[in-house]
Amino acid sequence: MKRVIAIDGPAGAGKSTVARRLAAELGYLYVDTGAMYRAMTLKVLMCGVNPADRERVAKIAQETNIALVTGPEGAPQVVLDGIDVTGRLREPAIDAAVSMVAAVPEVRERLLGLQRQLAQRGGVVLEGRDTGTHVAPHADLKVFLTASPAERARRRYRDLVAAGHRTTLDEVERDLRRRDEQDMTRAAAPLRRAPDAIELDTTGRSIDAVVEEILRYCREDA
Ligand code: DC
C-alpha cells in the first residue's frame, strides 16, 4: 500500500476534490499545500502590502505561522497566526495575488518545512503544484492531473458562483491562464509533471471514476 501520495496539476484540474476524497477513502491526512500559500497571501493583503513587493512579502513570511489542523467534523482547517481562516481562502482577491506570493523563495522555504514534516508522517495525500517534484520527491505514488482549459475554467466558475462571488466565465478563464503562466514559469519550484508521475486527464470524467483509478494504483504493490 502506498503511504505518501502526491497529486499535482494546474488550477481547476480537479485536484482538491480528488485528493480530499482519496484521503477520506484511505483514512489518510489531506494536506492542501495551495491553502497554505493562500493563507500567506491573505496575511500579505491584511498587512496592506503589495503582493508584487518581494522584499516585504519575504519579511512577512518569516514572521507568519501557518498550521493545518483537523477541525471538529474532521474537515481540514488552515490556521493563520492562531486564527482559523479556512473560509476566506477562496476569495477572488486571493486568487489574483497568490501566484505572486507563491513565487517568492522565502515564502516557499517557510512552507516547505511544514509540508515535509507532514509528508514524513506517512499516511498522507499531498496536493499542490510541486509536491511530487519538491515536497516529497520520494512519494510512493505521484499523479499529475490535467483537464482542458475550457473545462478547468467552467469548474472554477461554477465553484465561485456557488460560493456567492460575482464573476464571468471570461474573467475566470483569463485568471486561470495568468496563474498557469506564473506557476509554470517561476524560478522556484515551478509547476511541472515529475518524470515518474502518472498523468490523468480528468476532462469529461466523473470524480468517482478518477478516484477509483487512483485507488487502484494505490493498492498495486510496487
Ligand atoms: O491549488 P490552489 O489553487 O489552491 O493553489 C493556489 C496557488 O498556490 C497556485 O496558483 C500556486 C500556488 N501553489 C504553489 O505554488 N505550490 C503548491 N504546492 C501549491 C500551490
Give 122-141 pLDDT, tens digit per residue. Answer: 899 999 999 999 999 999 99
Q: What is the mean pLDDT of residues 138-165?
A: 93
Give 49-92 pLDDT, tens digit per residue. Answer: 999 999 999 999 999 999 999 887 778 899 999 999 999 998 88
Looking at every residue in the chain, the average pLDDT score rounds to 93
Q: Which atom of ligand 1 is nearest to the CA of 103?
A: 15
Strand ranges across the sheet with 76-80 = 66-70, 76-80, 83-84
pLDDT value of position 198:
97
For the cut 80, the answer to whether the pLDDT of residue 144 exceeds it is yes
**Strands annotated E in the chain:** 4-8, 29-32, 66-70, 76-80, 83-84, 124-128, 141-146, 198-201
Q: Which residue bears the cell 468517482?
A: 208
pLDDT value of position 128:
96
CB atoms closer than 10 angstroms to residue 52: 12
Query: What distance in Å separates the CA atoms of residue 189 and residue 108, rounded to the nearest whole number?
Result: 8
Which residue's CA is the nearest one to ligand 1's atom 1?
A: 34
Pocket of ligand 1 (CB under 6 A): 11, 33-34, 37-38, 98-99, 102, 128-131, 179, 183
pLDDT value of position 220:
83
Give 167-185 pLDDT, tens digit per residue. Answer: 999 999 998 999 889 899 9
For the cut 70, the answer to whether the pLDDT of residue 204 exceeds it is yes
127: cell is: 496536493
For the cut 80, the answer to whether the pLDDT of residue 222 exceeds it is no
For the cut 90, the answer to whether the pLDDT of residue 21 exceeds it is yes
Name the amino acid, one letter, at 201.
D
DSSP code, position 3: S
Query: What distance in Å separates the CA atoms of residue 69 and residue 65, rounded to the nearest whole number?
Result: 13
Q: Specify whether the backbone of 149 is left (phi greater than 0), alpha (psi in -120 to 50) or beta.
A: alpha
Most ligand 1 atoms within 8 A of CB, residue of 7, 32, 33, 95 to mutate: 33
Q: What three-state secondary structure class fits 4?
A: strand
Which residue's CA is the nearest one to ligand 1's atom 6?
A: 34
Residue 146's contacts (CB-CB under 8 Å, 6 or more residues apart) are 9, 10, 13, 199, 200, 201, 202, 203
pLDDT value of position 71:
80
For the cut 70, the answer to whether the pLDDT of residue 221 exceeds it is no
pLDDT value of position 1:
73
Strand ranges across the sheet with 124-128 = 29-32, 124-128, 4-8, 141-146, 198-201
**Which candidate, 112, 117, 113, 102, places its Cα nearest to that of 190?**
102
Which residue's CA is the nearest one to ligand 1's atom 16?
A: 129
Name the amino acid, one letter, at 53.
D
Confidence label for 15 from pLDDT (cuts 50, 70 and 90)? very high
Spacing, Cα 205 to ligand 1 middle (Å)? 23
On whether the CB atoms of residues 98 and 38 are closer than 8 A, the answer is yes
pLDDT value of position 13:
93
Helices 33-46 and 54-62 sit at what angle, rounded to 10 degrees? 110
**Which candidate, 17, 7, 128, 117, places its Cα nearest to that of 67?**
117
Domains of the chain: 4-221 (3.40.50.300)
